[in-house]
Amino acid sequence: MSEIRLFVSTTEAVAEAVLEALSSVFGEEDYAIATQEIDEARGIWEASIYGTADQEADIAERFKSLIRTDFPALVLERETLPDIDWIARSLEGLKPVRAGRFLVHGSHDRDKVRLSDIGILIDAGQAFGTGHHGTTAGCLNMLGDVLKARPVRNALDLGTGSGVLAIAAHLMARIPVLATDIDPVATRVARENARTNGIARGIAFATAPGFHHRIFRENGPFDLIIANILARPLMKLAPSLVRHLAADGTVILSGILAEQRWKVIAAYNSAGLKHRRTTWMNGWVTIELVR
Ligand code: SAH
């Protein structure tokens, strides 16, 4: 059955508001809802809901009535999504993702990298992190800001997945990075991705659950620790993470749903860190903390 997308085109703030409204109307059901930036220069965003062709009439009617009451200026648009194999699509069809100066792209989009970009080549595969998830994009944006704002001597990417964040940190700042993951497949994929991106030295890899490995002591303490995991493990890891942080270090956390953020911040406050800022993307937040 072919898939359809119903959407409105608007500003970022309105798209987020539409997303909220859509999730209260459709939240209990099994539809994918998303916001996405379409045109960075003009600040155009879309808020979308995805369904199958036989669900379209029902979704369209409810989406229209939501627009009529809450967003009368918006116009509902639709598109039929090409009927293709999702795995093949995830391997080849991914569009490049821009996050600050970083452009994460697959092999088929090498030519999209501009001179001023830091291109990161990641082909979708067995490990998480192609840049398409709001948490990865949120981390990349914040990473770019932090590396621009202050000198960072070394970094740790905990839960590296595809290695995307470690690669970004090394390419931008040319600093030594330690990249670890609980999953040996991720560690292997991340190492291959680093090589594909021309990094022969400069990133060390290890398979480890949390901080259970001597490599953290050998390479730490770290000026910058990035961990895009999930709220619950992040809260558990707070004391050991802070123990491996340099005296003036910065922490970037993601994998946290907006409504979970206060609990995570509280856990890191107790471990001695101060909240600096939070950014939002598609219902996920990225949090910056400092000593
Ligand atoms: N850093 C990448 C991947 C994030 S996905 C990105 O931002 O896109 C989260 C990764 O954390 C997964 O690869 C998962 O295997 C790993 N992970 C989960 N729990 C972990 C733990 N306790 N210690 C280390 N890695 C963990």
Q: Which secondary-structure segment (H or E) carries 206? A: strand 203-207
Task: Give the integer Cα–Cα distance in Å for 131 and 102.
Answer: 10
Could you tell me which residues are beta bridge partners of residue 6? 49, 78
Q: What is the mean pLDDT of residues 19-36?
A: 81
Q: Is the dihedral of CA 128, 126, 235, 194 positive or negative?
A: negative
What pLDDT does residue 250 have?
A: 98
CB 35 within 8 A of CB 67: no
pLDDT at 194: 97
Model pTM? 0.72
Q: Which CATH number fits domain 3-83: 3.40.109.10, 2.40.30.10, 3.30.70.2920, 3.40.50.1980?
A: 3.30.70.2920
pLDDT confidence tier of residue 3, bands split at 50, 70 and 90: confident
**CA 161–ligand 1 middle distance (angstroms):** 5
Mean pLDDT of the chain: 89
Tell the residue number behind the tokens 């749903």, with chain if given: 257
Question: Listing from the earlier edge strand, what are the strands of the sheet with 102-105?
Answer: 97-99, 102-105, 118-121
Per-residue model confidence (pLDDT) at position 289: 96
Under the banding of pLDDT at 50, 70 and 90, the label for residue 124 is confident
CA distances from 206 to 121, 156, 157, 170, 176 (A): 21, 11, 11, 16, 14
CATH no. of 129-290? 3.40.50.150
CA atoms of 175 and 247, how far apart (whole Å):
18
Question: Domain segments of the chain: what residues?
Answer: 3-83, 129-290
Q: Residue 227 has what pLDDT?
A: 98
User: Among 175, 172, 162, 241, which Cα is nearest to 203's?
Assistant: 175
Can you tell me the distance from the alpha carbon of 289 to that of 259, in angstroms, rounded to the nearest whole number? Answer: 18
pLDDT at 83: 57
Q: Whose CA is nearest to atom 11 of ligand 1?
A: 159
In this predicted model, what pLDDT tens digit does every residue of 163-212 receive, in sequence order?
999 999 999 999 999 999 998 889 999 999 999 999 999 999 999 999 99
Residue count of the chain, please give it. Answer: 291
Q: What pLDDT sits at residue 281?
A: 79
Angstrom distances, CA of residue 26 to CA of 21, 59, 134: 9, 9, 20
Q: What is the pLDDT of residue 130?
A: 73
Distance, in Å, from the CA atom of 280 to the CA atom of 16, rounded to the nearest integer, reads: 10
More confident residue, 44 or 84: 44
Which of 120, 188, 228, 254 for a ligand 1 pocket mutation test, highest count of atoms within 8 Å of Cβ?
A: 228
The pLDDT score that the predictor gives to residue 1 is 67
Among 162, 167, 183, say which to mutate for ligand 1: greatest number of ligand atoms within 8 Å of CB: 183
Are 74 and 18 spatial neighbours (Cβ–Cβ below 8 Å)? yes
- pLDDT tens readout for residues 55-96: 999 999 999 999 999 999 999 999 887 654 444 444 444 678
